[in-house]
Chains A and B, each alone.
Chain A
Amino acid sequence: MQGVSKDYAVQMHGITKYFGPLRVLDDVNLDIKKGEIHAILGENGAGKSTLMNILYGMYNPDYGKIYLNGQETYIGKPSAAISQGIGMVHQHFMLVDKFTVLQNIVLGNETTDFFGVLNMRKARKKVIEIIKKYGMKVDLKEKVKNLSVGMQQKVEILKALYRGAEVLILDEPTAVLTPMEVDELLETMQNLKKDGKTIIIITHKLKEIKKSAETCTIIRKGQFIDRVNVADETEQSLAEKMVGRQIKLFVDKKEMTPGDTIFEIQNLSVRCERGIETVKNLSMKIRGGEIYGLAGIEGNGQTELLQCILGRRYADSGKIIMHGKEIQNTNTRNVLDSKISFIHADRHKYGCILDMSVADNVIMEKYREKPFSVNGFLNHEERDKFTKQIIETYDVRPAKCRHQKIRNLSGGNQQKLVIGREIANNPDLLIAVQPTRGLDVGAIEFVHRMLVNLRDQGKAVLLISLELDEILNLSDKIAVIYGGEIVGEFDQKEADEHKVGLLMAGGKGE
């Protein structure tokens, strides 16, 4: 803890917060100098977002004091935070899709003439000044739903600046960006810093902390661990402080020993619901004992490709072949029966039924098979036995969760259950889509190890991810999808961030 002084833009001392009986923050200290970029590092559920939501007035702390510029203050609600110069860009963007950029920016802080009648022209002038000052490129007339994620983030930052934010909180800002958008964001952050703004960045990505932040506060399980100068630390040391144990940041895996082709797609074309051909003449071959990584920016046909493999969308032409048998245009059950398993990107939407128990979720695909059901009657004992086994094998916490709703588990534990369930199917091909989305370093390490294990057993893995690092780290073969086509295919050794990133963005290979 540092002494209270007006050199510090934000100081939060002894912050404690309970959610019901659960203590999510325990005597946490945060000291942030004016004009610096400060990172808050911690695993999921460590309490980073809660801490920042307290600063932004979304929650009230149970104990502890907040000082802004050396003055003790009470925040209590977002409007008070805004008026004291605090702005926040939430992890899930707070934008109204159907509104234009300008409408989103002024919402809640409108310029009006009389009786609340809007004066958008005045507002536009003010926003354009800000845009020019920080060199951001945004079309104010465009509807937010037509913008890329990176663009939407800029709108969020503009929203905060429009309200006169001096302290800007960015909650997991890079989670959804492409590599190029990340660079752009880091540049914007530097511009803001030059102008004297203070920036707080919440993240669990070590690389970006090293690139952008000067100081870093580390939180683990709701407790303050350390406040460090980023320059004195390595990615490794930061990671270990965050997780509290030794950790491997890089996947180590044996040389691959590829087998025969297990899964093949030949000249597949698929249309999206609007009738546009979003997968065009796509072909790929995946061998046993190989992790095949498909890199690409969201919206380049991955969704339709997956739905088509899963039997939820018709193929216009082309073949999907598993173990020499065509499975396109059949149905989902047939696909699953041909020894393909899925880990969906959105485990809340597809992977789990959130309001059902852990045990019921675990037998979701097997409920109709013996021994889980006999003559149409469920056997709950067998279900519970099987669930217990998965919970133990995959170290799901809390260990006695099988009758709890799966909603109450953390994201990492939900994912462990899903992976456990799918691997228990003994698939020959596992399709993992964004399998580490929203997970922290510890859980990511686990998921990656599982995928590599499967590969080492001679199974095929198709990894589809928006995280380029993950693809590059894990895959034996890397393909890039752009505009529904495979625009490049590399062995792991030949691929690098630059080459693949360029293709992802629609650039031509050399």
Chain B
Amino acid sequence: MLSSLLIALSITLMYSAPLTLAAIGGVISERSGVVNIGIEGMMSIGALTGAVVGYFTHSAWLGLLCAGLAGGVLALLHAIASISFRADQTVSGIAINLIGPGLAMFLSRYFFDGASITYPVPEKLPKLAIFSYLKGTPFANFNIDVSVVLALAVVVVTWFVLYKTKWGLRIRALGEHPAAVDTLGVPVYRSRYACVIMSGILAGIGGGTVTLAVISQFTPIAISGQGFIALAAVIFGKWKPWGAYGACLLFGFSQALVIMLDGGVLHVPSTILAMIPYVLTILILIIFVGRSSAPRASGVPYEKGAR
């Protein structure tokens, strides 16, 4: 009993890590006033980049770094479109969501002789056996991915920056009333660029952890809706880092359920089980979307001197 609980916990944490990273990216972007629904696309490109770089360099860490950069580059596109050219942020985000997976598939075929699945990376991100000193108990076998620790660290740092530093005060103000920030001499466009790019980097890293920690290769279904689930977590978590983290744990748990219940005593077809995270997402969105209050200026392009 204890050991299966621990396994459930371990799986929950493992699956929630990529979601958390991406969701925190979403929080940062939206708090600065730019809706980023392109997270899915940024995760996809991150997942591919992580797998490819990890495979060729034999370094999972280098892969993860490049995954972040790839997500950041895609986010830069979104930033240019939605901040400088004041495009509709939803349309731009959808474009990113089409470009990301398409490009990932194209690159996979390019690097791996037309295969849409990459070779497994020789070295995954390390796991940490945090209770290894408790020999002989079920705890000894309990280990967590380093990505879990990374995700938690990102949550803590983001919370601290947003609520305890001047940068955070400015980011939160940007999402509420950019003109106010502008009249106080803080550059609106530059700050929003920074936040959107940061959001892409985190989403890319999130994607990278899928192919470097959860599974060990890129497949066309490696990222299938995690980006959207992360977005749901942003809303469910009320645009707050800890809230988003909690939501991601819940979604991660639902994925753990899929795995734990599959082949268990219940004999539910695995295809039905696989729906659990998505159904949960929809339910949560239905229940919470109307009630939560988004940053007021989120999604509204800022135009200097507009009436």
Contact = CB atoms under 8 A, between A and B. Distances in A.
Interface of A: 53, 56, 58-59, 77-82, 88, 90, 92, 94-99, 103-104, 106-110, 112, 115-118, 159
Interface in B162-185: 164-167, 169-170, 172-173, 176-177, 179-185
A117 B173 contact: no
Contact of A116 (B167, B179, B186): B167
A202 B177 CA distance: 23
Interface of B: 164-167, 169-170, 172-173, 176-177, 179-186, 296, 304-305
Contacts of B182: 78
A103 B169 contact: yes
A88 B177 contact: no
B186 A97 contact: no
Contacts of B181: 107-108
Contact of B184 (A92, A97, A109, A118): A109
Given A79-B186, A94-B179, A108-B185, 4 more contacts: A95-B177, A97-B177, A104-B180, A117-B164
Choose among B166, B172, B181, B186 the residue with the greatest number of A CB atoms under 10 Å from its CB: B166
A298 to B, nearest CB: 20
Contacts of A97: 176-177, 296
B234 to A, nearest CB: 17
A368 B183 CA distance: 46
Given A103-B169, A108-B170, A112-B165, A96 B183 contact: no
Contacts of A112: 165-166
Contact of B183 (A58, A103, A106, A115): A58
A399 to B, nearest CB: 23
Closest 5 CB pairs of A and B: A79-B185, A108-B184, A94-B180, A110-B166, A116-B165
Main secondary structure of the interface of B (DSSP, over half): helix
A81 B296 CA distance: 28
B210 to A, nearest CB: 32
A82 B182 CA distance: 12
A118 B176 contact: no
A107 B178 CA distance: 12
B185 A82 contact: yes
Contacts of A159: 184
A115 B165 contact: yes
A51 to B, nearest CB: 14
Choose among B165, B176, B183 the residue with the greatest number of A CB atoms under 10 Å from its CB: B183
A88 B183 contact: yes
A58 B304 contact: yes
A110 B169 contact: yes
B170 A59 contact: no
Nearest to B186: A108
Contacts of B165: 112, 115-118
A108 B184 CA distance: 6
Contacts of A53: 305
Contacts of B304: 58
B190 to A, nearest CB: 12
24 contacts: A56-B183, A58-B183, A77-B185, A78-B182, A79-B185, A79-B186, A82-B184, A94-B184, A96-B176, A96-B177, A96-B180, A97-B176, A97-B296, A98-B176, A99-B173, A99-B176, A108-B186, A110-B166, A115-B165, A116-B166, A116-B167, A117-B164, A118-B164, A159-B184
Contacts of A79: 184-186
Contacts of A59: 305
Nearest to B305: A58
Contacts of B164: 117-118
A90 B166 contact: no
Contact of A94 (B169, B183, B296): B183
Contacts of B180: 94-96, 104, 107
Choose among A77, A97, A106, A116 the residue with the greatest number of B CB atoms under 10 Å from its CB: A116
A58 B303 CA distance: 12
Nearest to A77: B185
B244 to A, nearest CB: 18
Contacts of A82: 184-185
B305 to A, nearest CB: 6
B260 to A, nearest CB: 41
Nearest to A109: B184
Nearest to A79: B185
Contacts of A118: 164-166, 169
A3 B180 CA distance: 35
A49 to B, nearest CB: 10
